[in-house]
Chains A and B, each alone.
Chain A
Amino acid sequence: EDQVTQSPEALRLQEGESSSLNCSYTVSGLRGLFWYRQDPGKGPEFLFTLYSAGEEKEKERLKATLTKKESFLHITAPKPEDSATYLCAVQARNDYKLSFGAGTTVTVRA
């Protein structure tokens, strides 16, 4: 069974204080690893898809990287509006469903 573990569970940052979120996964053949952002009471908002080890993608202050066993979401110089729960999910090669981790809740203080 696919397993996704995210750490830390919660992260409190000062505005401008860069940090990284970790997503460790086990899957029987990775089709893709997905990062989503979720605000309270809202639906997950797509951020990135990573397909193979060594791949990196960037969007504004966010950068996602992938290895064979884990992915990192780096937040550079965060702003209060980056406060959200960040979800990592994997999709196996023989499947289409997403298996999600529990998420990391990021709070950025001004």
Chain B
Amino acid sequence: DSGVTQTPKHLITATGQRVTLRCSPRSGDLSVYWYQQSLDQGLQFLIQYYNGEERAKGNILERFSAQQFPDLHSELNLSSLELGDSALYFCASSVAGTVHQETQYFGPGTRLLVL
């Protein structure tokens, strides 16, 4: 158990809908990262938050947005869903985004299926 929690574990929805994925980082971790894992793309970085502020963006679609709240939990919002958004979404956390060398610990993931 990494200490990172994600809810829900599974999500089934229809095209055009909007969903929210939730992540709680390990106790004491200030940075949260979101990754998408699909069969054809592998693990891809989406976005990073550090202590409530957006720090880095990867290949995140404009239909996707995220935020980190004062209690440091984070939410990833996916809207106007398409079939191709079906994937595993992982959250990871690390102590701080400013230390030279650090490790990201991953949560169990949310499996999203868009029908």
Chain A contact residues, CB within 8 Å of chain B: 31-32, 34, 36, 41-46, 49, 51, 87, 89, 95-103
Which of B42, B102, B107, B109 is within 8 Å of A100, CB to CB?
B42
CB-based contact A97/B45 at 8 Å: yes
**Shortest Cβ distance from residue B10 to the other chain A in the assembled complex, whole angstroms:** 10
B8 lies within 8 A of chain A by Cβ: no
Q: Mark B77-115, 1 if CB is under 8 A from A, else 0.
A: 000000000001010101001001111111111010000
Using Cβ atoms and an 8 Å threshold, which residues of chain B touch A95?
A: 56
**Shortest Cβ distance from residue B89 to the other chain A in the assembled complex, whole angstroms:** 10
Using Cβ atoms and an 8 Å threshold, which residues of chain A touch B102?
A: 32
Using Cβ atoms and an 8 Å threshold, which residues of chain A touch B45?
A: 97-99
Residue in A closest to B90 when the chains form the complex, CB atoms: A43
Q: Tell me, in angstroms, the Cα distance from A100 to B43 when the chains sit together.
A: 6
Q: Tell me, in angstroms, the Cα distance from A41 to B108 when the chains sit together.
A: 8
Using Cβ atoms and an 8 Å threshold, which residues of chain B touch A101?
A: 42
Residue in B closest to A97 when the chains form the complex, CB atoms: B45
**Shortest Cβ distance from residue B51 to the other chain A in the assembled complex, whole angstroms:** 13
CB-based contact A42/B101 at 8 Å: no
CB-based contact B108/A43 at 8 Å: yes
CB-based contact B48/A97 at 8 Å: yes
Q: Tell me, in angstroms, the Cα distance from A45 to B92 when the chains sit together.
A: 11
CB-based contact A43/B2 at 8 Å: yes
CB-based contact A97/B58 at 8 Å: yes
Q: Tell me, in angstroms, the Cα distance from A97 to B33 when the chains sit together.
A: 8
15 CB contacts below 8 A, A to B, read A41-B111, A42-B108, A43-B109, A45-B2, A46-B103, A46-B106, A89-B43, A96-B31, A96-B56, A96-B97, A97-B48, A97-B56, A98-B43, A100-B42, A102-B42
